[in-house]
Structure 1
Amino acid sequence: MSKKVIEQVNKFVNERVEKMLLEDVVSSRFARYSKYIIQDRALPDARDGLKPVQRRILYAMGEMGLAYNKPYKKSARIAGEVMGKYHPHGDSSIYEALVRMSQDFKMRLPLVDMHGNNGSIDGDSPAAMRYTEARLSKEAEYLLKDIDKRTVNFVPNFDDEEQEPTVLPAKFPNLLVNGAMGISAGYATKIPPHNLREVIDATIALIENPDLSDDDILHYIKGPDFPTGGIVQGKDGIKQALTTGAGKVIIRSKTFIEEISKSQDRIVVTEIPYEVNKAELVRTIDTLRVNNNIDDILEIRDESDQEGLRIAIDLKKGADSGFILNYLYKNSDLQIAFNYNMVAILNHRPVLVGARELLKTYIEHQKEVITNRSNFELEKAQKRFHIVDGLIKMTSIVEEVIKTIRESQNKADAKLNIQNKFSFSELQAEAIVMLQLYRLSTTDIQALRDEQQNLTFEMEKLNQILSNEKILMKTIKSELLEVHAVLGDDRKSLIEDEIETIKIDHRDLISDENTMVGITKDGYVKRASLRSYQATPEPGLKENDAFIFLKEVNTLDTLLIFTNLGQYIFLPVYKIDEQKWKDLGVYINNIVPIEKNEVLVKVLAVSNFKTDEKILMATKFGQMKQVNLTEFEVTRYNKSLRAMKLAPGDEVRSVDITLKENIIALSKKGYGLRFETEELPLYGLQAGGVKSMSLAEDDELAVAFYARSNDDFYFLTSRGHIVKDSVSEVSKYARGRRGIIILERQKTLPHLIVSGARLSKAQQKEDVNIRLVGTKEAVYMPLSEVKYSPNKFGKKMIDDGYFMEIDKSSYEEEVVVVEKKKVSKPEQEAKVIEEAIMTKNNKQIRLSRLDLFDEEE
């Protein structure tokens, strides 16, 4: 390519190609696009309440002569007319807008009368546009009324071949009456429909008193009035929305309870919330039934017919219909929230406005419409008056006029001659030459005089409208009253002042039955029916795993599962999936996430949290506290919760319940301490407790529990021995002491205390079961099989000890209520006092009661 050609190409490119940064191009083009979709696509105009596509459809149908009392025409023809002349977008979007304006469950006053399948409240699609027919509704004609009298501005269409209106005359405030929904770039609108009569009453009140307050507007507009009816709750939300343009209300279905039999009811739904899909609603409620979210629903049927909507929900015998209805309000679309976002185009800008501003804008629009109409009609009346005046003048000289016309050569010559000879204007001359001879009769001359008189009266009236604003406002008011009388109807939605707060206790949904629950030391949880438990000789367990909790509980009970890291898991029994007893169960981490080094310490089954019972918690470092059982009850339990604050390296070792007057603390190295329960303060869940037992550097607390003075207790050693002792033989000291030795030490293979439990007289009398768990085995047997052994290390039961628990007696034991010391701040560590005596030789020895026993065999 020659150098000259390259220069020409470069010159061409430089002249015609503009170099710009990409971000500048995108920003500029997107801004133009946003402006277009905001102003001319998605948001309604505050004056006529219509989006451009809706306005174009109605105008095109009006131009096609599709009045409400004229025959229908195919929807495809209407969509084609709109697309070809005014709306250069897809025909599907035009047809969707046409269909929506015809749906009486979407529009409070449908603007299109459609013949054929136009969809349903079940979400069914309308028939194709080639099958349906449409025409304007009577309400739409009031929006279009007087549009041919130059009432609104027209602009060229997209190809400059047609004219289209920028707004419709709108003889009623359509934006508030029919509402609007739309999403554009950065803006969205959601305006509910309102009652026509109420809106017009408010408009008239605002005309009569322009200083009307927002509260006065609310006196007329009670709230939204949905085409599907329902109950609207929240007067404060309505006030806020109609005042500021943003607010929230609750829409609730209308229902009633129908009695099937003396002990069986049926919930009947007759109206559902606005824009809720009825078929989806029925499906959702049926899914709740199938998934056993609610047990008392027998069947749900959609019994809607030509007489109206009806959903029947049959309940089981004895079911609480009020509770189930509240549950459905809470968990289905029988009740929804509706959020106002009243954004509309005012003065070519999107604005969030209240009802008062919208009505003011509408009134200003009507002033302009009626002024334009009056000017048009006045001009027309003046023109006709001028013609009639000429015709009347002509009747007095009719012979001369006829003679002049006969002498003329043609029509144009005749017009010119009578204009010059009798001083008629061109308009008058045109009317005279076109006059039919029969109009010269006496009757027609009188008719002309009557018409002249009427025209005079009409011109006076129009001049008054144009010159006197009070008469203009009176005209607007009278036309609104006409619409009020012709189109107005009664309110469909019921307004309730307060939003009813619904609180559902999920326990009420659960069948009250007993079930077997087991929890293992490795963290597996399972629940099975009593039948499955009794029919399974061996439970499903991992190798070397064993139950630390195995109990028949009620489905309404709650398990408190405590871990060594000071956390607890709140687990309602009904939340545990039911399995067969031979199954392995569900790992606790799949129910509630726990740490890798977190292990289960204790499981408590609680039937009622509203009691005076206390929970005793003790840690490895000897920290201890009491907590009210009520504090452990929570409503959200999707994660583990703090039960006790721990120091670094510390762990929870023991948890007990059922308050007694004494607390027994046993250390790993064999020390036992008894002190009064009232010495231990009551703390909350976030506290770390106080020092309860003084420990040597190489010792740690093994277990702590409540006990009465006349109780016995068992403790389990690391070598699998179980030792029985009496509470009364453990000397009572103040909290913070080391206590006395209850287990003799050995230099080689020493016995270390790993667990312990209180043993009451009632438990011994009833011969309850005792559970002993080791690292590789477990035994569960009656207390009577644990024979007394004179050996100071008790009786060997398992290879190595890990956990011990004694079942409670079925006899109800009295709960001791002990006054607690109020502690405003953590106590200082108590001074350690060794439990020792001095011999005659001034030699100090440790206190022990075990020297009387023989050595271990």
Structure 2
Amino acid sequence: MAEGEKIIKINIEEEMKSAYIDYSMSVIVSRALPDVRDGFKPVHRRVLFGMSELGVTASKPYKKSARIVGEVLGKYHPHGDSSVYFAMVRMAQDWSLRYPLVDGQGNFGSVDGDSPAAMRYTEARLNKIAEETLVDIDKRTVDFQLNFDDSLKEPTVLPTRIPNLLVNGASGIAVGMATNMPPHNLTEIINATVAYIENPEIDIDGLCEYVKAPDFPTGGIIYGYKGVRDAFETGRGKVVVRAKAEVETDSNGREKIVISEIPYLVNKAELIIKIADLVNDKKIEGISNVNDESDRRGMRIVVDLKRDAIANVVLNNLYKFTALQSSFSVNNIALVKGRPELLNLKGMISNFVEHRHDVVVRRTQYELEQAEKRAHILEGLIIASDNIDEVIKIIRAASNPEEARNNLIERFKLSDIQARAIVEMRLRQLTGLEQDKLRNEFDELVKEIAHLKDILSNESLRMEIITEELVEIKAKYGDERKTEIVYSSEEFNPEDFYADDEMIITISHLGYIKRTPLAEFRTQSRGGVGSKGSTTRDQDFIEHIYPATMHNTMLFFTKKGRCFWLKVYEIPEGAKSTKGRAIQNLLNIEGDDQVKAFIKVKKLNEEDYVNSNYIVMGTKKGIIKKSLLADYSRPRVNGVNAITIKEDDELIQARLTNGETEILMATRSGRAIRFNETNIRTIGRTGQGVRGISIDTEVDEVVGMICVNNIQEEDALVVSENGFGKRSKIEDYRITNRGGKGVKTMKITEKTGALISIKNVTDEHDLMIINKSGITIRLAMSELRTMGRATQGVKVINLKKTDQIASVARVPAYKEEVATETEEDQVEGSEGTPEIPTEE
């Protein structure tokens, strides 16, 4: 130990506490948290200031990144070079910052998580918008402090014109606290700031009219609004962000999910690897391949689906198991007057406005001081120009400049500064033109001084200046939102976004659905099934046509007894000639399930309507069930059980009734039963139902169920698998109690084959018959006469010996074509336009 030194014993616990508190405060104040005024942490502020001092502005050539890092490192930021370089790199990445502040040239990394090239390879300069954060810094608008070695001065904050904390956000982990602020749209933030300046009492609701939600540089979709609202009100909230994905169909008819935007801060390469791992582990079914087809034009991740995959189900699983849906946890902690504080939207805006007000005041004071100094000098020069001969004489008579200044001060009562300016005045300022310039400049300065003093004495004028500067920034750099917002159904009624226009819903035999504006049917003379340009597949045809409005609802019933809902506006829109989308891909139904019945209802929220209508369902084993429509009036994304189906049974039909229809059920063995709907008691949604018709043998089953409203106008049509059919009056079937064996509806023989269908028809219907061999034949009902109930029927279609009928569908009849057609308009088998049924 050296002489005079001594050891002082201290408590290690106290020393650790003290040292750690000092370290914590240093991290909080000088490293991890942004300042609420300019939105920067010290390293970002130093990078921008260093680049400005180095002259690497937007209008100047790029400089090597290593040169910039060296400048910042040596003068202001005595830490590792990587901390400075990576801070600068992040400010240049358009997927990291909503409004990048650095213009980088070279490899600055990628959204796949690739590292940037070494700083010796890349170049950079300030972006134009970054210069707005440094405007007026040389006018004493902000405080400066000594750098780490007291050799230079650096700004404690930047006099930014941009509300950078809100538009670019920030993230950082301090000691015992962290911050995570989302970026926002510049136009929205400036509009809200101007609204706050005009009305400082504005509340969060008022600000939300301008700032809709965060706006991420990678786009995506904000899913649900509650987290956004919480963040705006309290400073904390969870914002759920989804990727933007669409389902496309390739030339082979196979569907694929195309992802064009992903959530903020999600690594694209890791996302694709995660999807591949889930497919390999069989946690997600239905995906055959994943390709990254991104290029300079934008992001494109293609998820190829297997033929039997349901796009909606796969996409929902991707949202559930991968970062295609992720949440951004907002935690708005920033330094306010050197102390960390949790801020809501209004708090951040008010602090920025306060900072801008301080900058405007300090700038005005500086400009006033400079203007008064110049005016003072001009006063002296004008005095000199008015007495130029005498001034020249005094100067010539003086032995040195000091004597000349003193003589001028004594003669004309000037200040030392004025006398110095006169002595140093150039000869060209003695010309008449230059003297006029002096007087004009002085007059302008007098006006400017008065204006600057007015600004300093008038707060409303200062606020006008702040507003004008903000509006100018918005005009220069404002843009459209990148991130869409989907308001969840509990908070917003989606019907508010769709006009209740009239539509025609068409469903094909193979299960393709679309909606077409009714106006398209009214304005065109041709169209419909069979017209030129139709893209329905071979052996497919339009089976169901429903008039509807955009706010109506379609109910879908599957063979497993589940019910699903789609609002009409959720059904894909298509022209008359387009195929539409497969229903399987619009609903979250299981792969081995199948839609068997469709029902269109008007308003599920009208109590009188849902309590005066019923849904009657029939199964293959003869079970029938009747429930109130009200039981199906609360839609769920994954559907609900409409009827409990036994293992060897399945739903074959569902009908909307008024409670008083006549019901007919027919079996393969050629028997049918007729009973009134009033014989079926109404039961709840999960009930199994009651017996509608008794079936004798295990091979026998129900082939169809019809509900007849008008027995005078409608007939019963039955068709057997060998091509025999018969149209009979409903009255020919005597009314019995439900549950019986029924009466003979067709004489079934080896020649006729088993019964396969029963339909209620009029002359306004046609019959579409599809054979197992794939042949489709259309038969007009008006050509088939009515006959007795127990007869064998007539041959409705000639079949080859090995062929049989696969299915029968009732379709609207074709009306005669009124307009003339050219030869190229005609299509084989197309004779007119389908009748559009009227709204009931």
Task: Please give the alpha-carbon distance, in whole angstroms, between the structure 2 residues aligned to 1:98 and 1:18.
Answer: 45
Taking a change above 3 Å as real, the CA distance of residues 425 and 269 of structure 1, as seen in their structure-2 partners, is same
Residue in 1 that maps onto 2:725 = none
Task: Please give the alpha-carbon distance, in whole angstroms, between the structure 2 residues aligned to 1:10 and 1:21.
Answer: 24
After TM superposition, the structure 1 = structure 2 runs for residues 327-726 of structure 1, keeping only pairs within 5 Å, are: 327-498=317-488
| Greater C-alpha radius of gyration | 1
Quote how far apart the aligned CAs of 1:500 are: 9.8
Match of 2:297 among 281, 303, 307: 307
**Contact preservation (8 Å) 1:415, 1:429:** yes
Which letter does structure 2 place at the counterpart of 1:129? M
Which letter does structure 1 place at the counterpart of 2:304? D
Quote how far apart the aligned CAs of 1:465 are: 1.1
Quote how far apart the aligned CAs of 1:446 are: 1.5
**Contact preservation (8 Å) 2:285, 2:314:** no
Residue in 1 that maps onto 2:208 = 218
Structure 2 unpaired stretches of 5+: 492-559, 561-589, 591-622, 624-646, 649-840
Match of 1:170 among 132, 150, 160: 160
Match of 1:142 among 125, 132, 143: 132
Task: Please give the alpha-carbon distance, in whole angstroms, between the structure 2 residues aligned to 1:248 and 1:137.
Answer: 32
Task: Please give the alpha-carbon distance, in whole angstroms, between the structure 2 residues aligned to 1:445 and 1:12.
Answer: 74
Residue in 1 that maps onto 2:239 = 249
Task: Please give the alpha-carbon distance, in whole angstroms, between the structure 1 residues aligned to 2:409 and 2:474.
Answer: 51
Quote how far apart the aligned CAs of 1:499 are: 7.9
Residue in 2 that maps onto 1:126 = 116
**Contact preservation (8 Å) 1:264, 1:319:** no
Residue 19, structure 1, aligned to residue 9, structure 2: yes
Residue in 1 that maps onto 2:177 = 187
**Contact preservation (8 Å) 1:263, 1:318:** no
Residue 48, structure 1, aligned to residue 38, structure 2: yes
The one-character-per-residue Cα deviations of 1:644-663 (angstroms, maximum 9, x if unpaired) are xxxxxxxxxxxxx99xxxxx
**Contact preservation (8 Å) 1:265, 1:315:** yes
Task: Please give the alpha-carbon distance, in whole angstroms, between the structure 2 residues aligned to 1:250 and 1:79.
Answer: 37
Moved more, 452-461 or 102-111: 452-461
The one-character-per-residue Cα deviations of 1:317-338 (angstroms, maximum 9, x if unpaired) are 2321111111111111111011
Match of 2:53 among 39, 45, 63: 63
The one-character-per-residue Cα deviations of 1:138-192 (angstroms, maximum 9, x if unpaired) are 1111111100000000111111111111100010211010000000100100000
The one-character-per-residue Cα deviations of 1:538-559 (angstroms, maximum 9, x if unpaired) are xxxxxxxxxxxxxxxxxx9xxx
Residue 115, structure 1, aligned to residue 115, structure 2: no
Which letter does structure 1 place at the counterpart of 2:155? P
Scaled by the length of structure 2, what TM-score is found?
0.58
Quote how far apart the aligned CAs of 1:255 are: 1.2
Which letter does structure 2 place at the counterpart of 1:115? Q
The one-character-per-residue Cα deviations of 1:337-361 (angstroms, maximum 9, x if unpaired) are 1111111011211111101011111
The one-character-per-residue Cα deviations of 1:781-817 (angstroms, maximum 9, x if unpaired) are xxxxxxxxxxxxxxxxxxxxxxxxxxxxxxxxxxxxx
**Contact preservation (8 Å) 1:253, 1:270:** yes
Task: Please give the alpha-carbon distance, in whole angstroms, between the structure 2 residues aligned to 1:10 and 1:435.
Answer: 66
Which letter does structure 2 place at the counterpart of 1:112? V
Q: Secondary structure at 1:220's aligned position in 2?
A: coil
Residue in 1 that maps onto 2:310 = 320
Residue 203, structure 1, aligned to residue 189, structure 2: no
Task: Please give the alpha-carbon distance, in whole angstroms, between the structure 2 residues aligned to 1:496 and 1:453.
Answer: 59
Task: Please give the alpha-carbon distance, in whole angstroms, between the structure 1 residues aligned to 2:346 and 2:374.
Answer: 41
Task: Please give the alpha-carbon distance, in whole angstroms, between the structure 1 residues aligned to 2:37 and 2:2.
Answer: 53
Which letter does structure 1 place at the counterpart of 2:54? M
Q: Secondary structure at 1:268's aligned position in 2?
A: strand
Residue 156, structure 1, aligned to residue 150, structure 2: no
Match of 1:240 among 230, 234, 241: 230
Structure 1 unpaired stretches of 5+: 1-8, 502-555, 557-573, 575-611, 613-656, 659-857
Q: Secondary structure at 1:144's aligned position in 2?
A: coil
Match of 1:267 among 253, 257, 279: 257
Quote how far apart the aligned CAs of 1:290 are: 2.5
Which letter does structure 2 place at the counterpart of 1:229? G
Task: Please give the alpha-carbon distance, in whole angstroms, between the structure 1 residues aligned to 2:103 and 2:252.
Answer: 47
Task: Please give the alpha-carbon distance, in whole angstroms, between the structure 2 residues aligned to 1:421 and 1:389.
Answer: 15
Which letter does structure 2 place at the counterpart of 1:474? E
Which letter does structure 2 place at the counterpart of 1:489? D
Task: Please give the alpha-carbon distance, in whole angstroms, between the structure 1 residues aligned to 2:420 and 2:260.
Answer: 67
Q: Secondary structure at 2:26's aligned position in 1?
A: helix
Residue 282, structure 1, aligned to residue 245, structure 2: no
Q: Secondary structure at 1:308's aligned position in 2?
A: coil
Task: Please give the alpha-carbon distance, in whole angstroms, between the structure 1 residues aligned to 2:58 and 2:422.
Answer: 39
Quote how far apart the aligned CAs of 1:11 are: 9.1
Which letter does structure 1 place at the counterpart of 2:81? D
Taking a change above 3 Å as real, the CA distance of residues 406 and 20 of structure 1, as seen in their structure-2 partners, is same
**Contact preservation (8 Å) 2:223, 2:487:** yes
The one-character-per-residue Cα deviations of 1:86-110 (angstroms, maximum 9, x if unpaired) are 1110111110101011111000111
Task: Please give the alpha-carbon distance, in whole angstroms, between the structure 1 residues aligned to 2:116 and 2:287.
Answer: 33
**Contact preservation (8 Å) 1:264, 1:318:** no
Q: Secondary structure at 1:167's aligned position in 2?
A: coil
Which letter does structure 1 place at the counterpart of 2:139? K
The count of residues paired between Structure 1 and Structure 2 equals: 497
Residue in 1 that maps onto 2:828 = none
The one-character-per-residue Cα deviations of 1:577-632 (angstroms, maximum 9, x if unpaired) are xxxxxxxxxxxxxxxxxxxxxxxxxxxxxxxxxxx9xxxxxxxxxxxxxxxxxxxx
Task: Please give the alpha-carbon distance, in whole angstroms, between the structure 2 residues aligned to 1:226 and 1:166.
Answer: 28
Stretches (4+) displaced over 6 A: none
**Contact preservation (8 Å) 1:385, 1:455:** yes
Quote how far apart the aligned CAs of 1:473 are: 0.8
Which letter does structure 1 place at the counterpart of 2:41? K
Task: Please give the alpha-carbon distance, in whole angstroms, between the structure 2 residues aligned to 1:174 and 1:428.
Answer: 44
Scaled by the length of structure 1, what TM-score is found?
0.56
Quote how far apart the aligned CAs of 1:262 are: 6.0
Task: Please give the alpha-carbon distance, in whole angstroms, between the structure 2 residues aligned to 1:405 and 1:11.
Answer: 68
**Contact preservation (8 Å) 1:58, 1:136:** yes
Which letter does structure 2 place at the counterpart of 1:367? H
**Contact preservation (8 Å) 2:46, 2:72:** yes
Task: Please give the alpha-carbon distance, in whole angstroms, between the structure 1 residues aligned to 2:3 and 2:405.
Answer: 66
Which letter does structure 2 place at the counterpart of 1:150? R
**Contact preservation (8 Å) 1:49, 1:179:** yes
Report sequence identity in percent. Answer: 49
